[in-house]
Amino acid sequence: MTEPNLVSAYASEAERDAEVSVRPRRLADFIAQHRVRDQLDLLLQGAMRRGSPPDHILLSGPPGLGKTSLANIVAAELGTGIRVTSGPAIERSGDLAAILTSLAEGDVLFIDEIHRIARPAEELLYSAMEDFRVDVVVGKGPGATAIPLDVEPFTLVGATTRSGLLTGPMRDRFGFVAHLDFYSPADLEALLHRSARILGVPITDDGAAEIAGRSRGTPRIANRLLRRVRDFAEVRADGVVTLETARAALTVYDVDALGLDRLDRAVLTALVDSFRGGPVGLSTLAVAVGEQPDTVEEVCEPFLVRAGLLARTPRGRVATEAAWHHLGRIPPNGTFGLDAPPVPDLFTRAPEQP
Ligand SMILES: Nc1ncnc2c1ncn2[C@@H]1O[C@H](COP(=O)(O)OP(=O)(O)OP(=O)(O)O)[C@@H](O)[C@H]1O
Ligand SMILES: [Mg+2]
């Protein structure tokens, strides 16, 4: 399995297969996210008491936080079947009509990346969600007729990493919207103990804590780092994941104490050492680390900003005081960072000085 970026929140196809064994199956196995869990529990229990399918459910949040897991859990808790598809996979509305009309009563239809569904299919979905009915158009041109078809009552579970891209009418048709947040280190520690138990990996509390702290609040990354540390523990040590093996392994894999990888650290180091902490324009910063601006902006910056190490300002990128400390540098006194004059950007016009 190739995992080029150990701390990416995205998964390759191979990794999605590796994830199946540790995927939580029931609500009780789903670690943390207590608010979402409680709300879902009420929704599902209420529906089961009434004997009718629950409202349609929208799960939104960054990659790797458990949307697909929750969609499967919904079906497992309801004891119903689940059909899985995704926005990009539904090219024609006919494809969707075929899926909808083949659902059994009470089934869950899971549409991943629902923000990427094509518009005609989306419109078909509206009537299915609202009235459990679809109009299938037969024929072309003036002779075309719409044949109304019934759809069994079902529950749509939609997942999206970009809820802002959903259309208003789409969002309004979900009766229940859950937003998944990043996990705390303590939550990830619990998650790692669970995964280690399933994988048969002996792990100590401080070993789990060490991996949790480097996992960027993301279960997928925690599980991935656990698999890599397990390799290291088995090959170079006695197979037990301890504080020492976790530290040694993650040093080998170039994942630092905050979960930054080589490129993240290169960006911060360039910012601090070459540009006195900034502000510096994105394209200059990208050249300094030998990467495309898009890569720096989309791969590195979101986490650096979230971790409070980098700020995006109108005058350019700035290293925060925490970034200096994280790199083991002493932040300069007086004007640096947010107050400093900007370093002119290579490819864009430097901002006017006030
Ligand atoms: N709350 C949780 N408890 C236990 N394991 C979890 C939890 N959330 C996620 N995981 C683990 O993380 C992995 C990734 O979760 P999942 O595939 O559900 O994320 P996702 O939000 O659907 O990601 P993507 O946006 O990339 O599709 C799962 O295989 C599962 O093992
Ligand atoms: Mg998913």
For 137-143, what is the mean pLDDT? 84
297 — pLDDT class (breaks 50, 70, 90): very high
Question: What burial class does residue 198 get, using C-beta atoms within 10 Å of its C-beta: 0-12 exposed, 13-18 middle, 19+ buried?
Answer: middle
Q: Is 161 a catalytic residue?
A: yes
Question: Which class for 17: exposed (0-12), middle (13-18), buried (19 or more C-beta within 10 A)?
Answer: exposed
Dist. CA 209 → ligand 2 center (Å): 25
Q: Tens digits of per-residue pLDDT, 179-205?
A: 999 999 999 999 999 999 999 999 999
- pTM comes to 0.91
Tell me, in angstroms, the distance from the centre of ligand 1 to residue 175's CA.
Answer: 23
Q: What is the mean pLDDT of residues 27-47?
A: 97
Q: Is 176 annotated as a binding residue?
A: no
Is 236 known to sit in a ligand binding site?
no
pLDDT (mean) for 231-246 = 97
Judge residue 237's burial from the number of C-beta atoms within 10 Å of its C-beta, 0-12 exposed, 13-18 middle, 19 or more buried.
middle
Q: Out of 187, 214, 216, 220, which one is annotated catalytic? A: 220
pLDDT-derived band at 333, boundaries 50, 70, 90: confident
Q: What is the mean predicted confidence (pLDDT) over 298-324?
A: 95
DSSP state letters, 84-136: EEEGGG--SHHHHHHHHHTPPTT-EEEEETGGG--HHHHHHHHHHHHHSEEEE
pLDDT digits (tens, 9 = 90+) for 70-104: 999 999 999 999 999 999 999 888 999 999 999 99
pLDDT grade, residue 349 (50/70/90)? very low
Domains and CATH numbers, the chain: 33-179 (3.40.50.300), 185-252 (1.10.8.60), 262-339 (1.10.10.10)
Closest atom of ligand 1 to CA, residue 59: 21
Ligand 2 ion: Cβ-proximal residues, 5 Å cutoff: 67-68
User: Does 11 contact ligand 1 (Cβ within 6 A)?
Assistant: yes
Helix (H, G, I), strand (E, B) or coil at 176: strand
Determine whether 68 is an active site residue. yes
CA 14 to chain CA centroid, Å, is 17
